[in-house]
Chains A and B, each alone.
Chain A
Amino acid sequence: MSCFLLDVTPLSSVPTARLDLRDVAKRFGPTTALDGVSLTVAPGEVHTLLGENGAGKSTLMHIAFGMLQPDRGSIVVDGVPRLITSPRMARDAGLGMVHQHFTTVPALTVAENLALAQGVAAGQWKRSPTFQDPLLGRLSDGLDPGAPVEQLSVGEKQRLEILKAVVQGQQMLLLDEPTAVLTPGETTDLLQWVQAFAAAGGSVVFITHKLAEARLVGDSVTVLRHGTVRLTGALGEFTTEALAQAMIGRASARTVAPKRPSARSDGDVVVRVRNLQLAARGQSTNPEGSGVSFDVRAGEIVGLVAIEGQGQRELLLAIAGVGSAAPGTVEVVGRAVLIPEDRTTEGIIGEFSLVENIALASDAAAPWVGRWGTLDWEALRQRTEMVVRTYGVQAPSTDMPVRSLSGGNQQKLVLGRALAANPSVVVAGNPTRGLDFQATTEMHQRLQETASSGVAVLVYSNDLDEVLALADRILVVSGGQVLIPDRADRDTIGQLMLAAERTP
């Protein structure tokens, strides 16, 4: 469907663009987020916006949607220059936006959220004429207007987000990484819907960092890096390698490290999970006797994938040995350490210095804890300097708050702290969330080296591609159960991830 659109005349000569961002610049304090970025989207066009974390994609969209004010530049919608200083003005100009994070109100119902998006009272949510539109029907299918949004599945929430964005008849849709939280099947549905929306005359800016996805859905492309446009034009003109190079700024363009050559499967069993009862969302615990059982061996990387709330968090915590114990047994030979899922709230304490964050992982038996529970700060400082040196943490001083480090350096400190404890098992949740390419690559290399040195590594990630690239074998957590895919491809795993949702 998108093929013939690729042959569209050069964008600059399209008579009236639907959205035309011209020479937009934005600074945050000393940081330049956008430096003279222009972007044009024609009616019926899906324009993919590529770039690394921090490249300025979201900032650009927030400016277009009136959530941020540019320092310089203009916004032209359907040929009319607009001063958009609030989301409400953006919506009135015909723009709709789906944010990276959900912007529905969990405690309110589907109908109330739709009313909120339209600025009407709760009872009037269906006044919108667009509800006759079959395109909207595809989105609202199966959504109960009276259900609180917190009871919806992730896929349903995402459909509601889009519904909110177009409910007033908006024809210009800004989608900020809309597939990041979806399973492969849900992603396919969404991409098809986007193409149908464009075929009916709508325009879309589609933000992603997945090149394959961009190829599937997009007509044209703009690549941002460090706040400037590195490349723009019809998608068909560029090779994947060229796109990746524009995103990352150097030749090597793989988004994940190459597979380790020597995946060992003959190590000793260091984690033995037997009949562990996991509570998935919406269930109390599983029917008795059907707990989870599996082994993890030294030297292997086991990947865990799941959609939200399937019991994976309890599983990770149980193996790492923190939190209230779920019924069942978990035996760990040696010491298990945890790299928590949410770095900024669970992995570090931002106000604490580097040394204090190292001290956080103390128990009474740690060498720097005295007999009467006193702390030897000098020993902790040495330990911190060792971690900083060994794991390449870039920090001017070990006494500064960890908050002021970049995400990549924070995560290196978290990993270094964990590995310095000589673990036999590393349990990592979303180890590269929010990191840029370089930091992601380094993190993957570290995890692979760790496994190669004989440590068992469990990696859970929201990003299926990351797990596919890193893991020697994959387990799918669904409805409090652990399923073993017979083939390690996206479709097979995607089916299993949804298993519990499909069969209630």
Chain B
Amino acid sequence: MEWVAVAGGFVAAAVRAGTPLLWAALGETLTERSGVINLGVEGAMLVGALAGTLGGFAGGPWVGVIAAAGAGGVASLVFAVLAIVARADQIITGTAITLGAVGVTGIVFRRAFGSTGPGLDLETFPSVSVPLLHRIPVLGEGLFHQPALTYLAVLVAGALAWFVFRTRWGLALRAVGESPEAARAAGISVRSVQLVATVVGGVAAGIGGATLVLAQVGTFAEKMTAGRGFIAIAIVVLGRWHPMGVLAAALFFGGASALQFLFQAMGFDVPYQLFLMLPYLLALAALTGVVGKARGPAALGVSSDEG
């Protein structure tokens, strides 16, 4: 019985830790499919986390999510204007956006909560059980007793897959990411597609940040995303730019983060820092194993010449 509880707890923790990553990675998948790599996704998550906290205090968790979506969208809009419209280097612009997000959230956070922080009395998302299914041994608790945002993320993954591979807008998106010249010749406005894909991607990253606060940690702290946005980028590669692959990869990384829980529950005395390192090392390993076999959008990261 002990084993069942531990395993069930592990699955639940894995899904919980994987959900913010999933949101951000789905957003980045959309963005990268348009040929844009947005390292500002880390910054979008961070402003999303803070906006989610402020919105959560103001009007409850759903208001928090909406505020986070808006904040993530705005952060990515700034990125998009610089990197897509003005054609500044995407990698460095993304780094700068993340840097700026650290500064902005720092200022706003201190202003709003002082140096003591927001405390822990933020209303978070309750876990919702799926009838019957949540009673499945081991997996049930983890997969079917989760906050609404988790179920929503899975639905979004499916919707994104349908959008990318089954609609004419998805076809246009892929064409832009693979060959902007060809897309332009087909009458597609490359810049518009990239702008929309980047901003919507940022919205998803913002929601990811809100998920971190409102469905996982329960409070905000400076720099609390701690590189999750960058891990999301690795997840996109590991998931081979396919929403369903990204879903699986995000769960895998959630599992890596939850290992600490598992090891502690099993009574192993391993320094916790090793678990802090693990997701990043796994991300590296994943990139190593996947790059070369899977191919990303051909025009990824290349600033396009004209409209």
- A residues with a Cβ closer than 8 A to B are 67, 86-91, 97, 99, 101-108, 112, 115-117, 119-124
Name the distance in Å between B304's Cβ and chain A's nearest Cβ: 14
Contact A88–B187 (Cβ < 8 Å) = yes
Contact B175–A119 (Cβ < 8 Å) = no
- Closest residue on chain B to residue A92 by CB atoms: B187
Instruction: Write out, one digit per residue, whether chain B residues 168-210 have a CB within 8 A of any chain A CB (1) or not (0).
Output: 1011101100110111111101000000000000000000000
Contact A86–B171 (Cβ < 8 Å) = no
- B residues with a Cβ closer than 8 A to A are 165-168, 170-172, 174-175, 178-179, 181-187, 189, 295, 297-298
Q: Which of A89, A90, A105, A119 contacts B168 (CB 8 A)?
A: A119
Q: How far is the CA of A90 from the CA of B297 in the complex (A)?
A: 28
Name the distance in Å between A173's Cβ and chain B's nearest Cβ: 14
Name the distance in Å between B20's Cβ and chain A's nearest Cβ: 31
A99, A105, A115 pick with most chain B CB within 10 angstroms:
A105
Q: How far is the CA of A116 from the CA of B173 in the complex (A)?
A: 10
Q: Which of A87, A108, A120, A123 contacts B185 (CB 8 A)?
A: A87
Cβ–Cβ < 8 Å partners of A124 in chain B: 168
Name the distance in Å between A267's Cβ and chain B's nearest Cβ: 45
**A–B Cβ pairs within 8 angstroms, 20 of them:** A67-B184, A86-B189, A90-B187, A99-B185, A101-B181, A103-B181, A104-B182, A105-B174, A106-B178, A106-B179, A107-B174, A107-B179, A107-B295, A107-B298, A115-B168, A116-B171, A116-B183, A116-B186, A120-B168, A121-B171
Q: Which of A87, A115, A122 contacts B187 (CB 8 A)?
A: A87
Contact A105–B167 (Cβ < 8 Å) = no
Q: How far is the CA of A233 from the CA of B222 in the complex (A)?
A: 75
The 10 closest A-B pairs by CB, nearest first: A88-B187, A103-B185, A87-B187, A121-B168, A103-B182, A105-B179, A107-B178, A105-B178, A105-B182, A105-B175
Q: How far is the CA of A117 from the CA of B170 in the complex (A)?
A: 14
Contact A116/B172 with A87-B186, A91-B187, A122-B166 known, Cβ cut-off 8 Å: yes
Judged by DSSP, the binding face of B is helix
B166, B178, B298 pick with most chain A CB within 10 angstroms:
B178
Contact B295–A121 (Cβ < 8 Å) = no
Name the distance in Å between A101's Cβ and chain B's nearest Cβ: 7
B165, B187, B298 pick with most chain A CB within 10 angstroms:
B187
Contact A108–B175 (Cβ < 8 Å) = yes
Cβ–Cβ < 8 Å partners of B178 in chain A: 105-108
Q: How far is the CA of A18 from the CA of B47 in the complex (A)?
A: 56
Q: How far is the CA of A89 from the CA of B181 in the complex (A)?
A: 17
Contact A117–B171 (Cβ < 8 Å) = no
Cβ–Cβ < 8 Å partners of B171 in chain A: 108, 112, 115-116, 121-122
Contact A105–B183 (Cβ < 8 Å) = yes
Cβ–Cβ < 8 Å partners of A106 in chain B: 178-179, 298
Q: How far is the CA of A122 from the CA of B164 in the complex (A)?
A: 10
Contact A123–B182 (Cβ < 8 Å) = no
Contact A108–B168 (Cβ < 8 Å) = no
Cβ–Cβ < 8 Å partners of B297 in chain A: 107
- Closest residue on chain A to residue B306 by CB atoms: A67
Q: Which of A86, A108, A120 contacts B174 (CB 8 A)?
A: A108
Cβ–Cβ < 8 Å partners of A102 in chain B: 182
Q: How far is the CA of A122 from the CA of B189 in the complex (A)?
A: 19
Cβ–Cβ < 8 Å partners of B187 in chain A: 86-91, 119
Name the distance in Å between A397's Cβ and chain B's nearest Cβ: 28
Cβ–Cβ < 8 Å partners of A121 in chain B: 166-168, 170-171
Name the distance in Å between A480's Cβ and chain B's nearest Cβ: 24
Cβ–Cβ < 8 Å partners of B183 in chain A: 105, 116
Name the distance in Å between B123's Cβ and chain A's nearest Cβ: 42
Q: How far is the CA of A101 from the CA of B174 in the complex (A)?
A: 20
Q: How far is the CA of A115 from the CA of B298 in the complex (A)?
A: 20
Cβ–Cβ < 8 Å partners of B179 in chain A: 103-107
Name the distance in Å between A30's Cβ and chain B's nearest Cβ: 19
Cβ–Cβ < 8 Å partners of A97 in chain B: 185
Name the distance in Å between B69's Cβ and chain A's nearest Cβ: 27
Q: How far is the CA of A394 from the CA of B19 in the complex (A)?
A: 62
Query: Apart from A103-B181, A107-B179, what 4 extra A-B contacts exist at CB < 8 Å?
Result: A67-B185, A87-B187, A106-B179, A115-B168
Q: How far is the CA of A87 from the CA of B175 in the complex (A)?
A: 15
B174, B179, B181, B185 pick with most chain A CB within 10 angstroms:
B185
Q: How far is the CA of A39 from the CA of B183 in the complex (A)?
A: 28
Contact A123–B166 (Cβ < 8 Å) = yes
Q: How far is the CA of A425 from the CA of B182 in the complex (A)?
A: 39
Name the distance in Å between A115's Cβ and chain B's nearest Cβ: 6
Name the distance in Å between A312's Cβ and chain B's nearest Cβ: 24
Cβ–Cβ < 8 Å partners of A101 in chain B: 181
Cβ–Cβ < 8 Å partners of A103 in chain B: 179, 181-182, 185-186
Cβ–Cβ < 8 Å partners of A99 in chain B: 185
- Closest residue on chain A to residue B172 by CB atoms: A116
- Closest residue on chain A to residue B187 by CB atoms: A88
Cβ–Cβ < 8 Å partners of B167 in chain A: 121
Cβ–Cβ < 8 Å partners of B184 in chain A: 67, 87
Name the distance in Å between B169's Cβ and chain A's nearest Cβ: 9
- Closest residue on chain A to residue B295 by CB atoms: A107
Q: How far is the CA of A492 from the CA of B26 in the complex (A)?
A: 55
Name the distance in Å between B85's Cβ and chain A's nearest Cβ: 18
Cβ–Cβ < 8 Å partners of A122 in chain B: 165-166, 168, 171
Q: How far is the CA of A67 from the CA of B190 in the complex (A)?
A: 13
Q: How far is the CA of A132 from the CA of B218 in the complex (A)?
A: 63
Q: Which of A89, A107, A117, A123 contacts B186 (CB 8 A)?
A: A117
Cβ–Cβ < 8 Å partners of A123 in chain B: 166
- Closest residue on chain B to residue A125 by CB atoms: B171
